[in-house]
Amino acid sequence: MNAPLPYLPEEELEEVESSSKKSPGFRPYVRTFLRKAWLIAGITSLTTFAGWMVSANDPYTYTGSFYLLVEPITSSAKLTNPTTLARTGGVPDEALFELDYPTNLVFLTSPGMTFQIAQDVHKKQLNRPVPAIWKDLRDNLKVNRASLGENARRGSETKIFAVSYTGENPQEVQEILATAADIFVKYSGEDRETNIKAGVKFIDNQLPNLQERLATLKSRQEKLRQQYELIDPLTKNSEVLTQVSGLKEQIFSLDTQFKSLQTLASSLQKQLNLSPDEAFAASTLSQDPDRLALMAQIQEIDRQIAVNSATFTNKSHQVQSLQDQKQNLLELLNQKTQAIITKKSLVIAPNSAALEYQEPTRLQMIQQLVETTNQIKVIENQRKPLIEAQQQLERQSKRYPKLINEYSDVQRQIQLTEELLNKLLLQRETLKVESAQDLPWQLISKPQIPLDEDGKPIGEPPSRKKKIAAGVGGGLFIGMAAAIIWEKRRNIFFSSEDVPDILSIPLMINIPKDDRSQIVEAIALESNASKETPELEATHQKEPLNSDASDEFYDSPFLLAFDDLYAKLSLLPSKTIRSLLITSVESKDGQSTVAMNLAISAATAGQRVLLVDVNWHKPQLHTLLEVSNDAGLCQVINEDISPKEVIQSVPNTENLFILTTGKATPHPPKRLWSARMQYLIEELPMLYDLVIYDVPHFFDNPDIKFLGSKMDGILMVVTVQKTPQSLAKKAIKDIETLNLPILGAVANNII
């Protein structure tokens, strides 16, 4: 094989590996639709023809209409509108006349309104039931706001409602339009008046409650005023707080004087050694003339005794006489003092200093103490009623916050009630004025159907586009569904592009159909050769007829595909492939052919390649490569023969060797997996650059999974138009579950 190996960039290989991880999306369905385009086209043609046939029997339809003027047009109409007089004082307001068009349009076509029309029509024409008429009304009655035309600018809608109805019976269309016109006009007049009267009735029902509530609130307010003798609690509270503040100032001033007088009185008491009562008694005693005369006499006798004591002894007649006089005077003084104390109700101790003679300075201090004491008592008498008045006002002021809140709440409720009452009274008068209005919508165009020159209704031919379009759409849908179901039931891969999308693994190569027999036949005809064409599987090793035939033979797309496959395996960025397992899910999928031709491509590239035939139940490689099968893998495993003794070189292919299955023993092994097989799998890659195993079909022997776990990679051969999708997907699922090194799939096009 002289053809050079094609170069495949590493980026392209990475793209091949990662492509399987992407969701296929709609690609498989698109290919299905393209493959079954004839089926889809046929079904679509049938449904389209059926739609055309059905539409051919459709009857003519008749459309009638009428127009309603829903708002005043001229300024004079607006000025004479009772709404203007009632709500704007005679000055028109544009916003006042704006009708809620969207709401009215929805209401006129609402189920309730259309059902009423259906009932009235049924009373006039008993040939159709109400539900049928009602359904046609919901589908075909249109109410729109008339515009100036298709080319009119936005916002140029008129104040006219355009009402139209389409039906198959012109008499029924005319009857429905006439009934709808009567009901719409009645709705704009009687129903509107009824709503106004309902509003007046509602207000009349609310007025007694509001008036009673207002009277109750005012009575409650009056009770509060009488109970607390006030007009406004806020003003009264301010007055009380002002009085409390004035009393506090007076009490503070008296307290200041009281403290000053107490300090002065305490100082005088200490100096005089007299209590306030004793000072008062001393002052009273010092003011009696008789007592003062007696005390003066006693002082004079004391003076005489002192003079005579210097001349005479104490027992002398002169001194004794003076002593007796003094004693008599003292008794008289005591009697006089007791008389004054009793008379004046003075409180004084027997040995108090107040009984002694008071000299003028001391007497002046006593008088000051008495006056200070009197002032203190006066201040105490003034302070006590002020404190009581303050406490009373403070207790009164504490009640005012609650009273103010209650009074304010009552006042606020009175104001709100009065405002609401006034508004309702004003609104009642307004509604009474509006109730006199009798301006319903005006029917400016009577219900009618366009007539021809003979006076017959003009009908519209049936539109076949919708039914034909429905036939086309339905046919496409049915055809595509049938195509998908058809291919799902066939359960095969219809093209090589389906393989990666369905199995979610990379497509390593797409092997085209083997065309070498045609090439050989063409060469033979050109050279007038008469010998038979060689077998497909053996042609690769036989000598070609001439050099031109050899070049054309080896340039066939079939053989070049294996060169591409080997190049991709060699340039895989993730690992180096030394051992490769090739399998399929069914017989005649071409896995042996793929294994043989891949081995030939690798050997031609200069690699030492060993091809191991593990499928000893149906061995094929020795036949395809024309080598002996006397001894092989069975003998190596069962008889402990060295593999070197039975490995053969392939004729006409340099660097290619084969380990055939060998002749079957009387007791061939039922299991592929054994300690000897495991040793071979580990030993052979050391002797060869690449070892390719052609194993039984994936589900034929469970030991294939053990073999796969020891490989550097696994290739799954899938035959287009043959291999069942379900088996292939099950095999890939098992491989991925066991985490076996699946490299990708090989799509074979042998059919």
Residue 176 domain-assigned (yes or no):
no
pLDDT at 525: 45
Q: Using CB atoms within 10 A of its CB, is residue 90 exposed (0-12), middle (13-18) or buried (19+)?
A: exposed
| Residue, of 200 and 249, whose pLDDT is higher | 249
The region that residue 22 occupies, defined by phi over 0 for left and psi between -120 and 50 for alpha, beta otherwise, is beta
Say yes or no to pLDDT of 750 above 90. no
Q: Mean pLDDT, to the nearest integer, of 427-447?
A: 71
**Alpha carbon separation from 17 to 21, 569, 617, 718, 732 (Å, rounded):** 8, 11, 34, 18, 15
Residue 731 domain-assigned (yes or no):
yes
Residues 687 and 709 occupy one common structural domain: yes
Beta bridge partners of 717: 584, 746
Give the number of domains in the chain: 2
Say yes or no to pLDDT of 80 above 90. no
Q: Mean pLDDT, to the nearest integer, of 507-527?
A: 63
Contacts of 503 (CB under 8 A, 6+ apart): 20, 716, 718, 728, 729, 732, 745
pLDDT at 15: 46
| Residue, of 20 and 343, whose pLDDT is higher | 343
Q: If pLDDT is split at 50, 70 and 90, which confidence band does 616 have?
A: confident
Say yes or no to pLDDT of 526 above 70. no
Range of the domain at 26: 22-57+462-489
Residues 672 and 572 occupy one common structural domain: yes
Q: What percent of the chain lies above the pLDDT cut of 70? A: 73
CA of residue 387 relative to chain centroid, distance: 68
Q: If pLDDT is split at 50, 70 and 90, which confidence band does 530 have?
A: very low
Q: If pLDDT is split at 50, 70 and 90, which confidence band does 620 have?
A: confident
Residue 704 domain-assigned (yes or no):
yes
Question: DSSP string spanning 424-451?
Answer: HHHHHHHHHHHHT-----EEEEEEE--B
Q: Mean pLDDT, to the nearest integer, of 527-532?
A: 42
Question: DSSP string spanning 70-138?
Answer: -S--SHHHHHT-HHHHHHSTT---HHHH---HHHHHHHHTSHHHHHHHHHHHHHH-TTS-HHHHHHHHH
Residues 562 and 644 occupy one common structural domain: yes
Contacts of 225 (CB under 8 A, 6+ apart): 231
Q: In one letter, which amino acid is 440?
A: P
Residues 485 and 575 occupy one common structural domain: no
CB 510 within 8 A of CB 558: no
The 3-class secondary structure across 199-245, one letter per residue, is HHHHHHHHHHHHHHHHHHHHHHHHHHHHHHCCCCHHHHHHHHHHHHH
Q: If pLDDT is split at 50, 70 and 90, which confidence band does 297 have?
A: confident
Q: Quote the pTM value.
A: 0.45
Residue 93 domain-assigned (yes or no):
no
Q: Give the three-state DSSP class for 352.
A: coil
Residues 660 and 621 occupy one common structural domain: yes
Please, what is the average pLDDT of the chain?
Answer: 75
The region that residue 626 occupies, defined by phi over 0 for left and psi between -120 and 50 for alpha, beta otherwise, is left
Residues 744 and 650 occupy one common structural domain: yes
pLDDT at 405: 74
CA pair distance 750, 514, nearest whole angstrom: 7
Residue 650 domain-assigned (yes or no):
yes
Q: Mean pLDDT, to the nearest integer, of 386-405?
A: 71
Which range has highest mean pLDDT (50-54, 256-260, 274-278, 288-292)? Answer: 256-260
Residues 475 and 580 occupy one common structural domain: no
pLDDT at 9: 43
Query: How many C-beta neighbours within 10 Å does residue 146 have?
Result: 16
pLDDT at 537: 39
CA pair distance 608, 544, nearest whole angstrom: 24
Q: If pLDDT is split at 50, 70 and 90, which confidence band does 546 have?
A: very low
Q: If pLDDT is split at 50, 70 and 90, which confidence band does 520 have?
A: very low
Residue 331 domain-assigned (yes or no):
no
Residues 484 and 511 occupy one common structural domain: no
CA pair distance 578, 684, nearest whole angstrom: 9
pLDDT at 600: 92
CA pair distance 249, 255, nearest whole angstrom: 10
The CATH number of the domain where 666 resides is what? 3.40.50.300
Which region among 319-328, 472-481, 513-522 has the lowest average model confidence (pLDDT)? 513-522
Dihedral, 542, 543, 549, 551 alpha carbons, nearest 10:
90
Residue 258 domain-assigned (yes or no):
no
Say yes or no to pLDDT of 160 above 80. yes
Residue written as token pair 């496959």: 565
Q: Using CB atoms within 10 A of its CB, is residue 453 exposed (0-12), middle (13-18) or buried (19+)?
A: exposed
Residues 610 and 713 occupy one common structural domain: yes
| Residue, of 619 and 318, whose pLDDT is higher | 619
Say yes or no to pLDDT of 19 above 90. no
Q: If pLDDT is split at 50, 70 and 90, which confidence band does 309 have?
A: confident
Residue 561 domain-assigned (yes or no):
yes
Q: Using CB atoms within 10 A of its CB, is residue 154 exposed (0-12), middle (13-18) or buried (19+)?
A: exposed
Say yes or no to pLDDT of 234 above 70. no
Residues 476 and 508 occupy one common structural domain: no
Say yes or no to pLDDT of 668 above 60. no
The 3-class secondary structure across 314-335, one letter per residue, is CCCHHHHHHHHHHHHHHHHHHH
CA pair distance 320, 313, nearest whole angstrom: 9
Q: In one letter, which amino acid is 639?
A: E
Residues 628 and 731 occupy one common structural domain: yes
Say yes or no to pLDDT of 13 above 50. no
Helix axes 233-272, 360-435, angle to 10 degrees: 170
| Residue, of 602 and 101, whose pLDDT is higher | 602
Q: Mean pLDDT, to the nearest integer, of 196-214?
A: 78
Residues 474 and 590 occupy one common structural domain: no
Q: Mean pLDDT, to the nearest integer, of 354-364?
A: 70
